[in-house]
Amino acid sequence: MGLTQHHPFDPLSGDEITAAVEAIRKYQSGQLLFNAVTLHEPRKKEMLRWLEHPSDGNKPARIADVTVILPDGAVYDGLVDLKTRKVQKWEKLDGLQPIVEEIMRKDPKVIEQCEISGIPKSDMHKVYCDPWTIGYDERFGSNIRLQQALMYYRPDPDTFQYQYPLDFCPIYDGAKKAIIHIDTPSVRRPLSKQKAIDYTPRYINENGGYRKDIKPINITQPEGVSFTMNGRVLSWQNFKFHIGFNYKEGIVLNHITFTDKGIERPIFYRLSLSEMVVPYGAPEHPHQRKHAFDLGEYGAGYMANSLALGCDCKGVIHYLDAEFAARDGSIRTIKNAICIHEEDNGILFKHTDFRDDSVTVTRARKLIVQQIFTAANYEYACQWVFHQDGTIQPEIKLTGILNTYALNEGEEAGPWGTEVYPQVNAHNHQHLFCLRVNPMIDGVNNTVNMVDTVASEAPVGSPQNKYGNAFYAKKTKLRTSGQAKTDYNGATSRTWEMVNENKLHPYSKKPASYKLVSREVPGLLPKEGSLVWKRAGFARHAVHVTPYRDDELWAAGRHVPQTSGEPSQGLPEWIAEGTASTENTDIVLWHTFGVTHIPAPEDFPIMPVEPMTLLLRPRNFFTNNPCMDVPPSYSITPTQVAEKKGALDQSDKDKIV
């Protein structure tokens, strides 16, 4: 079977996944479970050579990166050359366990606990669980595959289970396919008897119906879209980039360039959401284990919604599918895993001259590359938004349903949670995301400066600050990975700029750069020494900077489930003593941002979208505003005003009226 030619950044196709699975089965006997079969990304030096001269025949080899579980529970990492069909690497991993999802309604111990909670054995088909990785529990260690089951009851198939949480937590051994322990609280909380609430049409119609005062808004693009696709390479408004996708990160953007006055200039080599952690703040056992790494433990790609089943995009939409290996090695396809579309974005720029009433106003549009994934109760809409001025805006929108726990009637939720509905406790928690940025600002050798806006150090009345009003941008060069461990400071409007010190702007004489602007940067609230602090080392600081290394992609490490955090994997391991140079070299900036969520009744039964956004903005990169050539919506010059001549009015299809 021949394999289709692919762009080196393309995700593995179904045929390539099948070829990798067949090669592994020939190499390793037994009933294998395929935890992951994904693209082993080309080595950067090879890839840059090919990008510069794609016709020279130096195309990087297609390699499959495979994680496999053997019948005895052992976990192996492998690499398969897809041209030769040969296994290049086969390495056993000690103390690591893959993801397991099982439903345990038939277990006698679970049935007993359900009866204690007030659920008869005949209702076990109404009992549900969200299987979470156990995080880490010193009672069990890391050498057996464990899952903790967050338990719920759903009395009606058309209601949702999170309003009826149960108070016990079974521990499931994936190798034995058995419950090995059940955690129960010191104070038992039986099943709530409260009337159900819901967000479905049936419930809304039974309780007053939908509002009637919403008029349609129609989005039309009669001439189609303004972007083009060449395979998975997208071009739009001077931007050009490759759209990849993998099981862990979901969308990956590679080789992002901007054509500036006819010259294609590199901006970023790779952008992705590298990891996230959701620590919960209730001190009662076993809630300390609730700190899901939704990418490392479950996979944003694996959990991607098929947008064929419902997409929030309007207008003309382009979709991309995703193909993965199922556990048995067969091909699993998620139709429409990625949607790409344009939206109107209000004013791009505008000015009215108060002296003569001349005015120019230009409307903006934006391009959105989006996926949505569901992590049990929560939904995350991950958007990469491109703007005509060269700005890139990563944005994450949170919605879905709160994770809940039981309350006794009359019991207070206390400071660690909120009673969002009678006998339903939603615990305080954080959503912390790690953005991985590999800059390539006019070349691979870049540096990061921390920028703080501060008042002049000179005293009032001095020659340097006679009137006391002086302030400036104070820049601190982050020369090593240790020095680069930095945090956000709202008092100084702190930003971080990725600069090419070898490329100075002709006017400002400052280096070409892209600036990270991020204001939603809560610190990790669990204390130093806590389990989540040990495991989520990437979240200890807002920004880390490391020298680029090909396989350092995921901030919490390659394999996350059931790691103890001793030692911490990922960024703390890679930074180590912090002596590695990050000055004028190939670097990676890691940024942790997010939200601290103190739940409220308005978040229940389903949470309105809460957006988190940040910006990657060009600074001293262009010689002037790069989007002045976008046609204005309306423009009239002083001469036209004086002579009472017509203006350029885009609403009349560019005719002079």
CA torsion 182-281-295-149 (nearest 10°) is 20
Query: In percent, how much of the chain has pLDDT > 90?
Result: 83
Task: State the pLDDT at residue 309.
Answer: 67
Residue 313: phi, psi to the nearest 5? -75, 150
CA-based Rg of the chain, rounded to a whole angstrom? 27
What residue type is 337 in one-letter code? Answer: A
| Distance in angstroms (rounded) separating the CA atoms of residues 231 and 377 | 34
Task: State the pLDDT at residue 93.
Answer: 86
CA torsion 153-156-162-166 (nearest 10°) is -10
- Exactly one of 65, 81, 107, 294 is catalytic; which is it? 294
Task: State the pLDDT at residue 315.
Answer: 85
Task: State the pLDDT at residue 655.
Answer: 45
pLDDT surpassing 60 at residue 653: no
| Distance in angstroms (rounded) separating the CA atoms of residues 418 and 440 | 45
Q: How confident is the model over 412-460, as pLDDT tens digits? A: 999 999 999 999 999 999 999 999 999 999 999 999 999 999 999 999 9
Asked about 378 being catalytic, the answer comes back as: yes
What residue type is 195 in one-letter code? Answer: K
Task: State the pLDDT at residue 647.
Answer: 80
3-state secondary structure of 7: coil
Averaged pLDDT score across all residues of the chain: 93
| Distance in angstroms (rounded) separating the CA atoms of residues 383 and 380 | 9
pLDDT band at 31 (very low <50, low <70, confident <90, very high): very high
Q: In what order do the strands lie in the sheet with 178-183?
A: 127-133, 146-153, 169-173, 178-183
**Site of tokens 């954080």:** 430
Q: Comparing C-alpha atoms, which of 182, 597, 108 is closest to residue 377? A: 597
Mean pLDDT of 302-323: 88
**Site of tokens 């006819």:** 262
pLDDT surpassing 50 at residue 97: no
Asked about 312 being catalytic, the answer comes back as: no
pLDDT surpassing 50 at residue 124: yes
Selected residue with higher pLDDT from 239 and 312: 239
- Exactly one of 162, 280, 378, 380 is catalytic; which is it? 378
CB 32, CB 25: distance < 8 Å: yes
CA torsion 100-101-106-109 (nearest 10°) is 60
Query: Residue 456 pairs with which residues in a beta bridge?
Result: none
| Distance in angstroms (rounded) separating the CA atoms of residues 465 and 462 | 5
pLDDT surpassing 60 at residue 96: no
Q: In what order do the strands lie in the sheet with 63-69?
A: 33-39, 63-69, 75-81, 86-93
Mean pLDDT of 326-350: 96
pLDDT surpassing 50 at residue 99: no
| Distance in angstroms (rounded) separating the CA atoms of residues 192 and 170 | 20
Domains of the chain: 14-93 (3.10.450.40), 228-280+291-402+428-619 (2.70.98.20)
Selected residue with higher pLDDT from 146 and 479: 479
pLDDT surpassing 80 at residue 409: yes
Q: How confident is the model over 445-504, as pLDDT tens digits? A: 999 999 999 999 999 999 999 999 999 999 999 999 999 999 999 999 999 999 999 999
Query: Residue 339 pairs with which residues in a beta bridge?
Result: 319, 370
Q: Minimum mean pLDDT among 68-77, 218-227, 622-631: which range? A: 68-77
User: Residues for the chain: how many in total?
Assistant: 657
Task: State the pLDDT at residue 657.
Answer: 35
CA torsion 6-9-15-16 (nearest 10°) is 120
* DSSP state for residue 431 in the 8-state scheme: E
pLDDT band at 4 (very low <50, low <70, confident <90, very high): low
pTM: 0.94
| Distance in angstroms (rounded) separating the CA atoms of residues 221 and 227 | 12
Mean pLDDT of 341-365: 95
pLDDT band at 146 (very low <50, low <70, confident <90, very high): confident
E-strand stretches of 28-168? 33-39, 63-69, 75-81, 86-93, 127-133, 146-153
E-strand stretches of 376-510? 378-387, 392-400, 404-406, 417-421, 424-427, 429-439, 447-455, 471-477, 495-504
pLDDT surpassing 90 at residue 625: yes
